């Protein structure tokens, strides 16, 4: 019982800690220089695409093979597309209008939540194998979650949302990791399912990066600033994967 609770707590700390810290960085950066927030949309997209290419995709291919990875990624892409449409319909009905930046932030949050669930599975499975392995995985995932929290927080900050609300939303995006860690701990997760989950979440991240973040950055800043932000994000994501 104690080990089960420790697994859930570790998953929550890794998920909530990383995304919330990313939100804090955006809140702080927004106070320093608002003009850098628009290119940060492309920067966030670059980080997410880098994690997809250099980390999530190789792991998914290794765990479940190319066919299941492609299927999972395709389903994840379509799922986020549908969820974004639902969010925009609900916004129009509840608020009487549609706020693109809020929709983007919520869509990014949904993709991050899916990713956190998949990573939570890895934490739980790691703890079953060896406690030290689970803790190591949790620390690495926390670091990975910082740029993801930034990606979610930037659209909200550009919209002028209150800092407390931004931090609350980024915190919520980290919660699914606790549930994933519990499921992984009980040993009901096969290697193929873990790979499929990673593929699903990488498809979701590709959607929000290519369809939402990059075009929005170009509209709000310029192509050159967006390109610089994108390349900077790709570089940071690659260094993060390489370093850990």
How confident is the model over 125-165, as pLDDT tens digits? 666 555 665 566 667 677 767 877 887 888 888 778 888 99
Q: Can you tell me whether residue 146 is helix, strand or coil?
A: helix
Distance between CA atoms of residues 206 and 84, nearest Å: 14
Distance between CA atoms of residues 238 and 244, nearest Å: 10
Q: What is the pTM of this model?
A: 0.73
Provide the domain limits for residue 92: 2-243
pLDDT digits (tens, 9 = 90+) for 67-97: 988 998 998 899 888 887 777 777 677 655 5
Whether the Cβ atoms of residue 163 and residue 170 lie closer than 8 Å to each other = no
- The tokens for 175 are 């919660």
Using alpha carbons only, what angle is made at residue 27 by residues 93 and 108, rounded to the nearest 5 degrees?
A: 45
Domains in the chain, number: 1
């Amino acid at each position: 019982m104690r080990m089960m609770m420790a697994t859930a707590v570790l998953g929550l700390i890794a998920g909530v800690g990383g995304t919330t810290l990313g939100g804090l960085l955006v809140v702080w950066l927004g106070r320093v220089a608002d003009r850098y927030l628009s290119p940060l949309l492309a920067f966030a997209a670059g980080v997410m695409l880098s994690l997809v290419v250099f980390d999530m995709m190789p792991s998914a291919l290794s765990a479940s093979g190319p066919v299941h990875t492609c299927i999972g990624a395709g389903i994840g892409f379509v799922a986020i597309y549908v969820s974004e449409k639902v969010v925009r319909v609900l916004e129009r009905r509840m608020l009487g209008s549609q706020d693109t930046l809020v929709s983007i932030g919520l869509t990014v949050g949904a993709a991050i939540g899916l990713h956190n669930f998949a990573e939570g599975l890895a934490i739980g499975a790691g703890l079953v194998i060896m406690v030290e392995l689970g803790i190591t995985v949790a620390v690495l995932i926390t670091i990975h979650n910082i740029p993801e929290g930034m990606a979610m927080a930037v659209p909200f900050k550009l919209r002028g949302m209150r800092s407390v609300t931004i931090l609350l939303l980024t915190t919520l995006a980290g919660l699914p990791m606790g549930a994933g860690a519990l499921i992984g701990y009980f040993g009901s997760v096969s290697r193929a399912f873990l790979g499929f989950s990673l593929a699903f979440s990488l498809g979701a991240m590709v959607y929000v990066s290519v369809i939402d973040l990059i075009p929005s950055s170009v509209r709000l800043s310029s192509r050159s600033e967006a390109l610089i932000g994108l390349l900077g994000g790709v570089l940071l994501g690659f260094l993060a994967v390489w370093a850990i």
